[in-house]
Chain A
Amino acid sequence: MIYQGKQKIWADYQKEIPDNHWFYVRSCIRQNFFPGAEKMFLEICRNLLGRDFFETEYHTTCGGIAYHCDTIPQETVMTIVARQFALMTEAGYENYVASCITSFGNYTEIIETWREFPELETKIRELLWKACRREFKIPKYLAHASDLIYKYRNEIAARAKYRLINRHTGEPLKAVEHIGCHYAKMFPSRGVGGAEYPYVLAGMIEAWGGNVIDYPERRHCCGYGFRQYHVKANRGYSLSNTHKKFESMEPYHPDFILTNCPGCPYFMDRWQYVIAETEGKTYGENGYGIPVLTYEELASLVLGYDPWDIGLQLHQVAVEPLLDKIGIEYDPKAKYLGLDEKDLMKPELPGVLRCC
Protein backbone atom coordinates (compact mmCIF):
# COMPACT_ATOMS: atom_id res chain seq x y z
CA MET A 1 0.00 0.00 0.00
CA ILE A 2 2.74 2.41 1.05
CA TYR A 3 4.88 1.26 -1.85
CA GLN A 4 2.05 2.00 -4.29
CA GLY A 5 1.71 5.47 -2.77
CA LYS A 6 5.37 6.14 -3.37
CA GLN A 7 5.09 4.94 -6.93
CA LYS A 8 2.34 7.49 -7.47
CA ILE A 9 4.54 10.28 -6.07
CA TRP A 10 7.40 9.14 -8.29
CA ALA A 11 5.07 9.24 -11.28
CA ASP A 12 4.44 12.93 -10.60
CA TYR A 13 8.13 13.68 -10.95
CA GLN A 14 8.96 12.04 -14.25
CA LYS A 15 11.41 14.03 -16.30
CA GLU A 16 11.54 14.29 -20.06
CA ILE A 17 14.89 12.87 -21.19
CA PRO A 18 15.59 12.84 -24.93
CA ASP A 19 16.87 9.52 -26.19
CA ASN A 20 19.80 10.69 -28.29
CA HIS A 21 22.26 13.43 -29.33
CA TRP A 22 23.90 14.76 -26.19
CA PHE A 23 26.75 17.17 -25.49
CA TYR A 24 28.74 15.58 -22.65
CA VAL A 25 30.79 17.40 -20.00
CA ARG A 26 32.96 15.73 -17.38
CA SER A 27 33.31 15.93 -13.60
CA CYS A 28 36.45 17.19 -11.84
CA ILE A 29 36.16 14.81 -8.89
CA ARG A 30 35.07 11.74 -10.81
CA GLN A 31 37.96 12.03 -13.27
CA ASN A 32 40.35 11.90 -10.32
CA PHE A 33 38.78 9.19 -8.19
CA PHE A 34 36.57 7.12 -10.50
CA PRO A 35 38.15 7.59 -13.93
CA GLY A 36 36.82 4.25 -15.17
CA ALA A 37 33.23 5.30 -14.48
CA GLU A 38 33.31 8.16 -16.98
CA LYS A 39 35.04 5.99 -19.56
CA MET A 40 32.28 3.40 -19.11
CA PHE A 41 29.52 5.99 -19.47
CA LEU A 42 30.60 6.74 -23.02
CA GLU A 43 31.42 3.07 -23.71
CA ILE A 44 27.88 2.03 -22.76
CA CYS A 45 26.01 4.94 -24.32
CA ARG A 46 28.01 5.21 -27.51
CA ASN A 47 29.51 1.85 -28.30
CA LEU A 48 27.03 -0.56 -26.71
CA LEU A 49 23.74 1.30 -27.19
CA GLY A 50 24.73 3.25 -30.29
CA ARG A 51 23.74 6.74 -29.14
CA ASP A 52 25.44 10.00 -30.13
CA PHE A 53 27.36 11.62 -27.27
CA PHE A 54 29.78 14.40 -28.22
CA GLU A 55 32.70 15.56 -26.08
CA THR A 56 35.04 18.42 -26.85
CA GLU A 57 38.54 18.67 -25.40
CA TYR A 58 37.97 22.43 -24.97
CA HIS A 59 35.46 22.13 -22.15
CA THR A 60 36.70 22.78 -18.62
CA THR A 61 35.54 22.64 -15.04
CA CYS A 62 32.20 24.37 -14.50
CA GLY A 63 33.76 26.02 -11.45
CA GLY A 64 31.06 24.58 -9.19
CA ILE A 65 33.32 23.43 -6.37
CA ALA A 66 35.16 26.77 -6.28
CA TYR A 67 31.77 28.50 -6.31
CA HIS A 68 30.41 26.43 -3.42
CA CYS A 69 33.66 27.01 -1.52
CA ASP A 70 32.85 30.72 -1.97
CA THR A 71 36.12 31.48 -3.75
CA ILE A 72 34.65 32.94 -6.96
CA PRO A 73 31.81 35.41 -7.50
CA GLN A 74 28.52 34.34 -9.02
CA GLU A 75 29.26 36.24 -12.25
CA THR A 76 32.47 34.24 -12.69
CA VAL A 77 30.85 30.82 -12.37
CA MET A 78 27.97 31.90 -14.59
CA THR A 79 30.34 33.03 -17.33
CA ILE A 80 32.35 29.79 -17.15
CA VAL A 81 29.05 27.93 -17.57
CA ALA A 82 28.01 30.26 -20.39
CA ARG A 83 31.26 29.31 -22.17
CA GLN A 84 30.39 25.61 -21.79
CA PHE A 85 26.96 26.34 -23.31
CA ALA A 86 28.71 28.21 -26.15
CA LEU A 87 30.79 25.11 -26.90
CA MET A 88 27.58 23.07 -27.05
CA THR A 89 25.96 25.63 -29.35
CA GLU A 90 28.99 25.75 -31.64
CA ALA A 91 29.01 21.93 -31.85
CA GLY A 92 25.36 21.96 -32.99
CA TYR A 93 23.79 20.29 -29.94
CA GLU A 94 20.88 21.33 -27.74
CA ASN A 95 20.82 18.50 -25.18
CA TYR A 96 23.42 18.95 -22.43
CA VAL A 97 24.45 16.17 -20.04
CA ALA A 98 26.76 16.66 -17.07
CA SER A 99 28.71 13.89 -15.37
CA CYS A 100 28.80 15.82 -12.10
CA ILE A 101 25.95 16.50 -9.67
CA THR A 102 27.53 19.75 -8.44
CA SER A 103 27.68 20.82 -12.10
CA PHE A 104 24.11 19.67 -12.75
CA GLY A 105 22.90 21.68 -9.75
CA ASN A 106 25.03 24.60 -10.84
CA TYR A 107 23.61 24.57 -14.39
CA THR A 108 20.06 24.19 -13.09
CA GLU A 109 20.47 27.06 -10.61
CA ILE A 110 21.97 29.32 -13.26
CA ILE A 111 19.30 28.63 -15.87
CA GLU A 112 16.55 29.18 -13.27
CA THR A 113 18.19 32.41 -12.05
CA TRP A 114 18.45 33.73 -15.59
CA ARG A 115 14.80 32.82 -16.17
CA GLU A 116 13.80 34.85 -13.12
CA PHE A 117 16.26 37.71 -13.67
CA PRO A 118 16.71 38.14 -17.46
CA GLU A 119 18.91 41.19 -16.94
CA LEU A 120 21.51 38.91 -15.36
CA GLU A 121 21.52 36.62 -18.40
CA THR A 122 22.07 39.70 -20.59
CA LYS A 123 24.97 40.76 -18.39
CA ILE A 124 26.58 37.31 -18.58
CA ARG A 125 26.20 37.25 -22.37
CA GLU A 126 28.07 40.57 -22.50
CA LEU A 127 30.79 39.31 -20.14
CA LEU A 128 31.26 36.11 -22.18
CA TRP A 129 31.55 38.11 -25.39
CA LYS A 130 34.06 40.44 -23.78
CA ALA A 131 36.16 37.57 -22.38
CA CYS A 132 35.92 34.94 -25.12
CA ARG A 133 34.07 36.39 -28.13
CA ARG A 134 31.54 33.56 -27.85
CA GLU A 135 27.75 33.38 -27.91
CA PHE A 136 25.46 30.65 -26.64
CA LYS A 137 22.01 29.15 -26.55
CA ILE A 138 20.63 27.77 -23.30
CA PRO A 139 20.31 23.96 -23.55
CA LYS A 140 16.87 22.79 -24.52
CA TYR A 141 17.29 19.77 -22.23
CA LEU A 142 19.58 19.48 -19.26
CA ALA A 143 20.32 16.06 -17.77
CA HIS A 144 22.63 14.44 -15.31
CA ALA A 145 24.48 11.41 -16.64
CA SER A 146 22.56 9.16 -14.23
CA ASP A 147 19.33 10.31 -15.92
CA LEU A 148 20.61 8.73 -19.13
CA ILE A 149 21.60 5.41 -17.56
CA TYR A 150 18.15 5.45 -15.90
CA LYS A 151 16.61 6.10 -19.32
CA TYR A 152 18.52 3.16 -20.82
CA ARG A 153 18.11 0.87 -17.78
CA ASN A 154 15.82 -1.62 -19.49
CA GLU A 155 18.06 -1.83 -22.56
CA ILE A 156 20.94 -2.53 -20.20
CA ALA A 157 18.85 -5.16 -18.39
CA ALA A 158 18.09 -6.83 -21.71
CA ARG A 159 21.83 -7.14 -22.45
CA ALA A 160 22.86 -8.01 -18.88
CA LYS A 161 25.09 -10.99 -18.19
CA TYR A 162 24.39 -10.84 -14.46
CA ARG A 163 21.43 -9.94 -12.26
CA LEU A 164 21.58 -8.32 -8.83
CA ILE A 165 20.69 -11.61 -7.19
CA ASN A 166 22.64 -13.32 -4.44
CA ARG A 167 23.69 -16.52 -6.18
CA HIS A 168 23.99 -18.36 -2.84
CA THR A 169 20.48 -17.57 -1.60
CA GLY A 170 18.61 -16.70 -4.79
CA GLU A 171 17.38 -13.51 -3.09
CA PRO A 172 17.63 -10.01 -4.61
CA LEU A 173 20.65 -8.07 -3.35
CA LYS A 174 19.88 -5.35 -0.83
CA ALA A 175 20.95 -1.95 -2.11
CA VAL A 176 21.24 1.46 -0.51
CA GLU A 177 20.88 4.26 -3.01
CA HIS A 178 22.37 7.67 -2.23
CA ILE A 179 21.47 10.70 -4.33
CA GLY A 180 23.76 13.72 -4.44
CA CYS A 181 22.15 16.69 -2.68
CA HIS A 182 22.45 19.03 -5.66
CA TYR A 183 20.61 16.61 -7.94
CA ALA A 184 17.14 17.71 -6.85
CA LYS A 185 17.12 19.29 -3.39
CA MET A 186 17.02 22.82 -4.81
CA PHE A 187 14.85 22.11 -7.85
CA PRO A 188 12.90 18.87 -7.21
CA SER A 189 11.12 18.93 -10.57
CA ARG A 190 14.47 18.72 -12.40
CA GLY A 191 15.26 15.26 -11.06
CA VAL A 192 13.66 11.90 -11.80
CA GLY A 193 11.36 11.31 -8.83
CA GLY A 194 11.94 14.68 -7.15
CA ALA A 195 13.87 15.30 -3.95
CA GLU A 196 11.99 13.17 -1.42
CA TYR A 197 11.51 10.01 -3.50
CA PRO A 198 14.13 10.21 -6.24
CA TYR A 199 13.79 7.24 -8.53
CA VAL A 200 16.81 7.69 -10.74
CA LEU A 201 18.98 5.11 -8.95
CA ALA A 202 16.14 3.03 -7.46
CA GLY A 203 14.88 2.48 -11.02
CA MET A 204 18.24 1.05 -12.08
CA ILE A 205 18.48 -1.26 -9.08
CA GLU A 206 14.98 -2.61 -9.62
CA ALA A 207 15.47 -3.05 -13.37
CA TRP A 208 18.63 -5.06 -12.76
CA GLY A 209 17.11 -7.35 -10.15
CA GLY A 210 17.97 -5.80 -6.76
CA ASN A 211 15.88 -4.51 -3.87
CA VAL A 212 16.17 -0.96 -2.58
CA ILE A 213 16.50 -0.48 1.18
CA ASP A 214 14.67 2.36 2.86
CA TYR A 215 16.42 3.58 6.01
CA PRO A 216 16.03 6.61 8.29
CA GLU A 217 18.91 8.77 7.02
CA ARG A 218 18.43 7.91 3.35
CA ARG A 219 18.27 11.56 2.30
CA HIS A 220 20.97 12.87 4.64
CA CYS A 221 23.95 14.53 2.97
CA CYS A 222 27.08 12.38 2.59
CA GLY A 223 28.92 15.16 4.39
CA TYR A 224 30.99 16.66 1.58
CA GLY A 225 30.09 20.22 2.56
CA PHE A 226 32.66 21.66 0.08
CA ARG A 227 34.83 23.81 2.42
CA GLN A 228 34.05 21.30 5.18
CA TYR A 229 36.14 18.75 3.29
CA HIS A 230 38.63 20.78 1.27
CA VAL A 231 40.01 22.41 4.43
CA LYS A 232 41.81 19.82 6.49
CA ALA A 233 40.73 21.42 9.79
CA ASN A 234 37.04 20.91 8.94
CA ARG A 235 36.97 17.28 7.90
CA GLY A 236 35.31 16.10 11.10
CA TYR A 237 32.10 17.54 9.66
CA SER A 238 32.36 15.33 6.61
CA LEU A 239 33.26 12.21 8.58
CA SER A 240 30.50 12.77 11.15
CA ASN A 241 27.79 13.00 8.51
CA THR A 242 28.94 9.88 6.70
CA HIS A 243 29.17 8.07 10.05
CA LYS A 244 25.58 9.04 10.78
CA LYS A 245 24.43 7.48 7.51
CA PHE A 246 26.33 4.25 8.06
CA GLU A 247 24.99 3.85 11.59
CA SER A 248 21.50 4.36 10.18
CA MET A 249 21.83 1.85 7.33
CA GLU A 250 23.78 -0.78 9.31
CA PRO A 251 20.75 -2.69 10.71
CA TYR A 252 19.51 -3.33 7.15
CA HIS A 253 22.75 -5.10 6.08
CA PRO A 254 23.09 -3.61 2.60
CA ASP A 255 25.10 -5.59 0.06
CA PHE A 256 26.21 -2.41 -1.70
CA ILE A 257 25.63 1.33 -2.01
CA LEU A 258 24.81 3.01 -5.33
CA THR A 259 25.52 6.70 -5.82
CA ASN A 260 25.13 9.32 -8.54
CA CYS A 261 27.30 12.14 -7.18
CA PRO A 262 31.07 12.59 -7.60
CA GLY A 263 31.84 13.23 -3.96
CA CYS A 264 29.40 10.80 -2.30
CA PRO A 265 31.05 7.54 -3.45
CA TYR A 266 34.46 8.93 -2.52
CA PHE A 267 33.35 9.91 1.00
CA MET A 268 31.27 6.81 1.65
CA ASP A 269 34.16 4.66 0.45
CA ARG A 270 37.03 6.48 2.20
CA TRP A 271 35.34 7.37 5.48
CA GLN A 272 34.55 3.66 5.95
CA TYR A 273 38.31 3.15 5.87
CA VAL A 274 38.84 5.96 8.40
CA ILE A 275 36.09 4.69 10.73
CA ALA A 276 37.60 1.20 10.59
CA GLU A 277 41.13 2.42 11.31
CA THR A 278 40.18 4.85 14.08
CA GLU A 279 37.21 3.13 15.72
CA GLY A 280 37.81 -0.47 14.70
CA LYS A 281 34.32 -0.67 13.23
CA THR A 282 33.44 -2.12 9.84
CA TYR A 283 30.00 -2.14 8.23
CA GLY A 284 30.22 -5.04 5.79
CA GLU A 285 30.51 -8.75 6.52
CA ASN A 286 33.63 -10.42 7.96
CA GLY A 287 35.62 -7.23 8.44
CA TYR A 288 35.00 -5.84 4.97
CA GLY A 289 33.29 -2.55 4.21
CA ILE A 290 30.12 -2.05 2.18
CA PRO A 291 31.14 -1.60 -1.49
CA VAL A 292 30.15 1.80 -2.90
CA LEU A 293 29.57 2.01 -6.63
CA THR A 294 28.77 4.61 -9.22
CA TYR A 295 25.85 3.90 -11.56
CA GLU A 296 28.19 3.33 -14.51
CA GLU A 297 30.23 0.86 -12.51
CA LEU A 298 27.11 -1.08 -11.54
CA ALA A 299 25.79 -1.01 -15.12
CA SER A 300 29.18 -2.23 -16.34
CA LEU A 301 29.23 -5.09 -13.84
CA VAL A 302 25.79 -6.39 -14.80
CA LEU A 303 26.80 -6.08 -18.45
CA GLY A 304 29.77 -8.33 -17.79
CA TYR A 305 32.74 -5.95 -18.09
CA ASP A 306 35.90 -6.91 -16.21
CA PRO A 307 35.93 -5.22 -12.77
CA TRP A 308 39.53 -4.09 -13.21
CA ASP A 309 38.88 -2.66 -16.69
CA ILE A 310 36.26 -0.36 -15.16
CA GLY A 311 38.52 0.80 -12.33
CA LEU A 312 37.13 -0.91 -9.23
CA GLN A 313 40.70 -1.41 -7.99
CA LEU A 314 40.73 2.33 -7.21
CA HIS A 315 38.14 1.89 -4.46
CA GLN A 316 39.45 1.60 -0.91
CA VAL A 317 36.61 -0.72 0.16
CA ALA A 318 37.07 -4.11 -1.48
CA VAL A 319 34.38 -4.95 -4.04
CA GLU A 320 35.17 -8.67 -4.16
CA PRO A 321 32.49 -9.72 -1.63
CA LEU A 322 29.87 -8.15 -3.91
CA LEU A 323 31.37 -9.72 -7.04
CA ASP A 324 31.27 -13.11 -5.33
CA LYS A 325 27.63 -12.67 -4.32
CA ILE A 326 26.61 -11.83 -7.88
CA GLY A 327 28.87 -14.54 -9.31
CA ILE A 328 30.97 -12.23 -11.42
CA GLU A 329 34.14 -13.82 -12.75
CA TYR A 330 37.37 -11.93 -12.09
CA ASP A 331 41.09 -12.56 -11.73
CA PRO A 332 42.22 -11.56 -8.21
CA LYS A 333 45.86 -11.48 -9.33
CA ALA A 334 45.12 -8.94 -12.05
CA LYS A 335 43.60 -6.34 -9.71
CA TYR A 336 46.59 -4.04 -9.39
CA LEU A 337 48.36 -4.76 -12.67
CA GLY A 338 48.93 -2.07 -15.27
CA LEU A 339 48.53 -2.40 -19.01
CA ASP A 340 50.17 -5.51 -20.49
CA GLU A 341 50.27 -6.96 -16.98
CA LYS A 342 52.86 -4.42 -15.86
CA ASP A 343 53.74 -4.87 -12.18
CA LEU A 344 52.68 -1.76 -10.25
CA MET A 345 53.09 -3.37 -6.84
CA LYS A 346 50.09 -3.08 -4.52
CA PRO A 347 48.62 -0.54 -2.12
CA GLU A 348 49.47 -1.11 1.52
CA LEU A 349 46.79 -3.04 3.39
CA PRO A 350 44.83 -1.09 6.02
CA GLY A 351 45.26 -2.22 9.60
CA VAL A 352 41.60 -3.01 10.29
CA LEU A 353 39.48 -2.72 7.15
CA ARG A 354 39.75 -6.00 5.33
CA CYS A 355 40.85 -5.64 1.72
CA CYS A 356 41.78 -8.06 -1.02
Chain B
Amino acid sequence: MGKLYDELLKDYRAKEGLKTCINCGTCTAICPAAEFYKYDPRKVMDIVQSKDEAEIEKLLKSDFIWYCGECMSCVTRCPRRNGPGLVIMALRNLSARLGYFVCSEKGRQLYPLTRILTGNILNYGYCVYPDTFKWEDHVESGPVWKWHTEHIEDTMARVGANFKGDGPGVLRKIPRESLDELKSIFDVTGGTERIETVERYSKEKAEELGMDMEEYFRETFEHTSSGHLNSED
Protein backbone atom coordinates (compact mmCIF):
# COMPACT_ATOMS: atom_id res chain seq x y z
CA MET B 1 0.00 0.00 0.00
CA GLY B 2 1.17 3.50 -0.82
CA LYS B 3 0.98 6.53 1.37
CA LEU B 4 -2.29 7.07 3.20
CA TYR B 5 -2.92 10.33 1.37
CA ASP B 6 -2.43 8.65 -2.00
CA GLU B 7 -4.75 5.80 -0.97
CA LEU B 8 -7.33 8.32 0.13
CA LEU B 9 -7.22 10.19 -3.15
CA LYS B 10 -7.99 6.99 -5.07
CA ASP B 11 -11.46 7.23 -3.57
CA TYR B 12 -13.84 9.13 -5.88
CA ARG B 13 -15.47 10.78 -2.88
CA ALA B 14 -12.14 12.31 -1.86
CA LYS B 15 -11.54 13.44 -5.44
CA GLU B 16 -14.99 15.05 -5.48
CA GLY B 17 -14.90 16.44 -1.98
CA LEU B 18 -11.43 17.90 -1.76
CA LYS B 19 -10.76 20.57 -4.32
CA THR B 20 -9.47 23.86 -3.06
CA CYS B 21 -10.47 24.14 0.57
CA ILE B 22 -9.54 27.54 1.99
CA ASN B 23 -10.27 26.47 5.56
CA CYS B 24 -12.84 29.21 6.02
CA GLY B 25 -14.83 27.07 8.49
CA THR B 26 -18.25 27.56 6.88
CA CYS B 27 -18.71 23.78 7.01
CA THR B 28 -18.14 23.76 10.76
CA ALA B 29 -20.55 26.64 11.24
CA ILE B 30 -23.37 24.78 9.48
CA CYS B 31 -22.52 21.27 10.73
CA PRO B 32 -25.13 19.59 13.00
CA ALA B 33 -22.45 17.20 14.28
CA ALA B 34 -20.09 20.04 15.25
CA GLU B 35 -22.85 21.52 17.36
CA PHE B 36 -23.20 18.31 19.33
CA TYR B 37 -19.84 16.56 19.26
CA LYS B 38 -16.30 17.88 19.72
CA TYR B 39 -16.04 17.87 15.98
CA ASP B 40 -14.73 20.27 13.38
CA PRO B 41 -14.91 19.35 9.68
CA ARG B 42 -12.66 22.29 8.85
CA LYS B 43 -9.92 20.57 10.83
CA VAL B 44 -10.48 17.29 8.96
CA MET B 45 -10.03 19.08 5.66
CA ASP B 46 -6.94 20.86 7.01
CA ILE B 47 -5.28 17.62 8.11
CA VAL B 48 -6.00 15.83 4.83
CA GLN B 49 -4.74 18.78 2.79
CA SER B 50 -1.54 18.85 4.86
CA LYS B 51 -0.66 15.38 3.48
CA ASP B 52 0.97 14.72 6.84
CA GLU B 53 1.04 10.90 7.04
CA ALA B 54 1.28 10.72 10.81
CA GLU B 55 -1.62 13.14 11.27
CA ILE B 56 -3.76 11.33 8.70
CA GLU B 57 -3.08 8.00 10.41
CA LYS B 58 -4.05 9.54 13.74
CA LEU B 59 -7.26 10.79 12.14
CA LEU B 60 -8.08 7.34 10.73
CA LYS B 61 -7.65 5.81 14.19
CA SER B 62 -9.64 8.49 16.02
CA ASP B 63 -13.27 9.01 17.08
CA PHE B 64 -13.18 12.26 15.15
CA ILE B 65 -14.08 10.91 11.71
CA TRP B 66 -17.09 8.98 13.05
CA TYR B 67 -18.95 12.02 14.45
CA CYS B 68 -20.32 13.22 11.08
CA GLY B 69 -23.98 12.42 10.28
CA GLU B 70 -23.47 12.55 6.49
CA CYS B 71 -26.33 15.04 6.07
CA MET B 72 -24.17 16.88 3.52
CA SER B 73 -25.27 20.33 4.71
CA CYS B 74 -21.58 21.30 4.33
CA VAL B 75 -21.73 20.69 0.58
CA THR B 76 -24.49 23.26 0.08
CA ARG B 77 -22.75 26.00 1.99
CA CYS B 78 -19.10 25.54 0.98
CA PRO B 79 -18.10 28.62 -1.04
CA ARG B 80 -15.63 26.51 -3.03
CA ARG B 81 -17.89 23.51 -3.71
CA ASN B 82 -15.88 21.15 -1.54
CA GLY B 83 -17.57 18.29 0.26
CA PRO B 84 -16.14 17.66 3.73
CA GLY B 85 -18.86 15.02 4.20
CA LEU B 86 -17.55 13.18 1.14
CA VAL B 87 -13.98 13.34 2.43
CA ILE B 88 -15.24 11.88 5.71
CA MET B 89 -16.81 8.97 3.79
CA ALA B 90 -13.49 8.32 2.07
CA LEU B 91 -11.62 8.45 5.40
CA ARG B 92 -14.09 6.03 6.99
CA ASN B 93 -13.77 3.69 4.03
CA LEU B 94 -9.97 3.66 4.38
CA SER B 95 -10.19 3.24 8.16
CA ALA B 96 -12.48 0.22 7.66
CA ARG B 97 -10.21 -1.31 5.00
CA LEU B 98 -7.09 -0.98 7.14
CA GLY B 99 -8.72 -2.09 10.39
CA TYR B 100 -7.93 1.25 12.03
CA PHE B 101 -11.59 1.64 13.01
CA VAL B 102 -11.15 -0.63 16.06
CA CYS B 103 -8.75 1.90 17.59
CA SER B 104 -11.60 4.24 18.59
CA GLU B 105 -14.88 3.77 20.46
CA LYS B 106 -16.99 5.36 17.71
CA GLY B 107 -15.05 3.46 15.06
CA ARG B 108 -15.77 0.13 16.77
CA GLN B 109 -19.48 0.80 16.20
CA LEU B 110 -18.85 -0.29 12.64
CA TYR B 111 -19.26 -3.86 13.87
CA PRO B 112 -22.91 -3.66 15.03
CA LEU B 113 -23.75 -1.43 12.08
CA THR B 114 -22.30 -3.91 9.61
CA ARG B 115 -24.01 -6.86 11.26
CA ILE B 116 -27.42 -5.16 11.35
CA LEU B 117 -27.47 -3.42 7.98
CA THR B 118 -25.69 -5.88 5.71
CA GLY B 119 -27.59 -8.67 7.48
CA ASN B 120 -30.88 -6.97 6.63
CA ILE B 121 -29.85 -6.45 3.01
CA LEU B 122 -28.64 -9.99 2.40
CA ASN B 123 -31.39 -11.75 4.40
CA TYR B 124 -34.42 -9.63 3.51
CA GLY B 125 -33.46 -7.21 0.70
CA TYR B 126 -34.15 -4.16 2.90
CA CYS B 127 -31.85 -1.94 4.98
CA VAL B 128 -34.45 -1.71 7.74
CA TYR B 129 -36.84 -4.57 8.49
CA PRO B 130 -39.40 -5.11 11.29
CA ASP B 131 -38.02 -8.53 12.30
CA THR B 132 -34.72 -6.91 13.35
CA PHE B 133 -35.96 -3.46 14.42
CA LYS B 134 -36.89 -4.52 17.94
CA TRP B 135 -38.78 -2.21 20.27
CA GLU B 136 -36.41 -3.27 23.07
CA ASP B 137 -33.50 -1.70 21.16
CA HIS B 138 -35.63 1.25 20.05
CA VAL B 139 -37.82 2.30 22.96
CA GLU B 140 -37.98 5.77 21.43
CA SER B 141 -40.12 4.26 18.68
CA GLY B 142 -42.85 4.47 21.27
CA PRO B 143 -45.77 2.33 22.41
CA VAL B 144 -47.31 2.65 18.96
CA TRP B 145 -44.37 0.78 17.35
CA LYS B 146 -44.54 -1.85 20.10
CA TRP B 147 -48.24 -2.30 19.37
CA HIS B 148 -47.64 -2.27 15.62
CA THR B 149 -44.98 -4.98 15.75
CA GLU B 150 -47.02 -7.12 18.17
CA HIS B 151 -49.89 -7.14 15.65
CA ILE B 152 -47.87 -6.58 12.52
CA GLU B 153 -49.68 -8.91 10.15
CA ASP B 154 -52.99 -7.28 11.05
CA THR B 155 -51.75 -3.69 11.18
CA MET B 156 -49.95 -4.05 7.85
CA ALA B 157 -53.00 -5.66 6.25
CA ARG B 158 -55.20 -2.84 7.62
CA VAL B 159 -53.22 -0.22 5.66
CA GLY B 160 -52.95 -2.25 2.48
CA ALA B 161 -49.38 -3.52 2.78
CA ASN B 162 -48.28 -6.82 1.26
CA PHE B 163 -46.21 -7.84 4.29
CA LYS B 164 -44.09 -10.91 3.46
CA GLY B 165 -46.40 -11.58 0.51
CA ASP B 166 -45.62 -12.51 -3.09
CA GLY B 167 -45.72 -9.92 -5.86
CA PRO B 168 -45.19 -6.15 -5.53
CA GLY B 169 -46.30 -3.93 -2.67
CA VAL B 170 -45.27 -2.57 0.71
CA LEU B 171 -42.79 -4.82 2.60
CA ARG B 172 -43.34 -7.69 0.18
CA LYS B 173 -41.12 -10.74 0.39
CA ILE B 174 -38.15 -9.98 -1.85
CA PRO B 175 -37.86 -13.02 -4.18
CA ARG B 176 -35.02 -15.47 -3.54
CA GLU B 177 -33.47 -14.80 -6.95
CA SER B 178 -33.20 -11.08 -6.13
CA LEU B 179 -31.51 -11.86 -2.80
CA ASP B 180 -29.12 -14.16 -4.65
CA GLU B 181 -28.26 -11.32 -7.02
CA LEU B 182 -27.56 -9.02 -4.07
CA LYS B 183 -25.19 -11.66 -2.65
CA SER B 184 -23.41 -11.92 -6.02
CA ILE B 185 -23.09 -8.13 -6.11
CA PHE B 186 -21.56 -8.16 -2.62
CA ASP B 187 -19.15 -10.90 -3.70
CA VAL B 188 -17.84 -9.20 -6.85
CA THR B 189 -17.75 -5.59 -5.62
CA GLY B 190 -15.92 -5.98 -2.33
CA GLY B 191 -19.01 -5.91 -0.11
CA THR B 192 -18.44 -9.42 1.23
CA GLU B 193 -14.74 -8.74 1.69
CA ARG B 194 -15.62 -5.59 3.67
CA ILE B 195 -17.94 -7.56 5.98
CA GLU B 196 -15.21 -10.14 6.56
CA THR B 197 -12.61 -7.43 7.21
CA VAL B 198 -14.80 -5.68 9.78
CA GLU B 199 -15.58 -9.02 11.46
CA ARG B 200 -11.91 -10.08 11.55
CA TYR B 201 -10.61 -6.89 13.14
CA SER B 202 -13.59 -6.73 15.51
CA LYS B 203 -13.01 -10.32 16.62
CA GLU B 204 -9.38 -9.52 17.39
CA LYS B 205 -10.42 -6.46 19.36
CA ALA B 206 -13.08 -8.42 21.25
CA GLU B 207 -10.47 -11.03 22.22
CA GLU B 208 -8.16 -8.26 23.37
CA LEU B 209 -10.98 -6.89 25.55
CA GLY B 210 -11.87 -10.37 26.83
CA MET B 211 -15.37 -10.38 25.32
CA ASP B 212 -17.25 -12.86 23.17
CA MET B 213 -18.84 -11.43 20.04
CA GLU B 214 -22.30 -10.98 21.58
CA GLU B 215 -20.81 -9.04 24.49
CA TYR B 216 -18.75 -7.01 22.03
CA PHE B 217 -21.88 -6.30 19.96
CA ARG B 218 -23.82 -5.05 23.00
CA GLU B 219 -20.86 -3.01 24.23
CA THR B 220 -20.24 -1.28 20.91
CA PHE B 221 -23.95 -0.81 20.22
CA GLU B 222 -24.93 0.55 23.61
CA HIS B 223 -21.98 2.03 25.46
CA THR B 224 -20.70 5.56 25.16
CA SER B 225 -17.91 7.07 27.24
CA SER B 226 -17.92 10.61 28.43
CA GLY B 227 -15.85 13.17 26.59
CA HIS B 228 -17.38 13.09 23.10
CA LEU B 229 -19.79 15.98 23.56
CA ASN B 230 -19.27 19.73 23.48
CA SER B 231 -21.23 19.93 26.71
CA GLU B 232 -18.67 17.72 28.49
CA ASP B 233 -15.28 18.77 29.80
Residues of A whose CB lies within 8 Å of any CB of B are 26, 28-29, 31-33, 35-36, 38-39, 55-61, 63-66, 68-76, 78-80, 83, 105, 113, 116-117, 120, 127-128, 130-132, 181-182, 185-186, 188, 195-196, 219-221, 223-228, 230-237, 239-241, 244, 270-271, 273-274, 308-311, 313-316, 336-339, 342, 344-350
Contacts and interface: CB of A to CB of B under 8 A. Distances in A.
B125 interface: yes
Contacts of B169: 39, 55, 57
Contact of B159 (A36, A78, A230, A236): A36
Given A60-B125, A71-B195, 13 more contacts: A61-B126, A64-B127, A72-B121, A75-B190, A76-B185, A76-B186, A76-B190, A79-B188, A182-B72, A227-B109, A240-B35, A309-B160, A314-B148
Nearest to A181: B71
B118 interface: yes
A315 B147 CA distance: 11
B182 interface: yes
A309 B184 CA distance: 39
Of the candidates B16, B32, B174, the one having the most CB atoms from chain A within 10 angstroms of its own CB is B32
A14 to B, nearest CB: 19
Contacts of B127: 28-29, 61, 63-66
Contacts of B159: 35-36, 39, 309-311, 314
A231 B221 contact: yes
Given A31-B171, A132-B184, A338-B157, A227 B129 contact: no
B70 A68 contact: yes
27 contacts: A28-B126, A28-B129, A35-B156, A36-B160, A57-B172, A57-B174, A58-B174, A60-B179, A61-B121, A65-B127, A71-B118, A71-B194, A72-B194, A73-B190, A73-B194, A127-B185, A131-B189, A132-B185, A185-B71, A195-B76, A233-B109, A234-B106, A241-B35, A270-B142, A270-B145, A314-B148, A315-B144
From DSSP, what is the main secondary structure of chain A's interface residues?
helix
B55 interface: no
A221 B32 contact: yes
A60 B174 contact: yes
Given A28-B127, A76-B191, A339-B154, A226 B184 contact: no
A70 B96 contact: yes
A31 B33 CA distance: 28
A273 B223 CA distance: 23
Given A31-B126, A31-B170, A76-B186, A223 B32 contact: yes
Given A74-B12, A132-B184, A237 B37 contact: yes
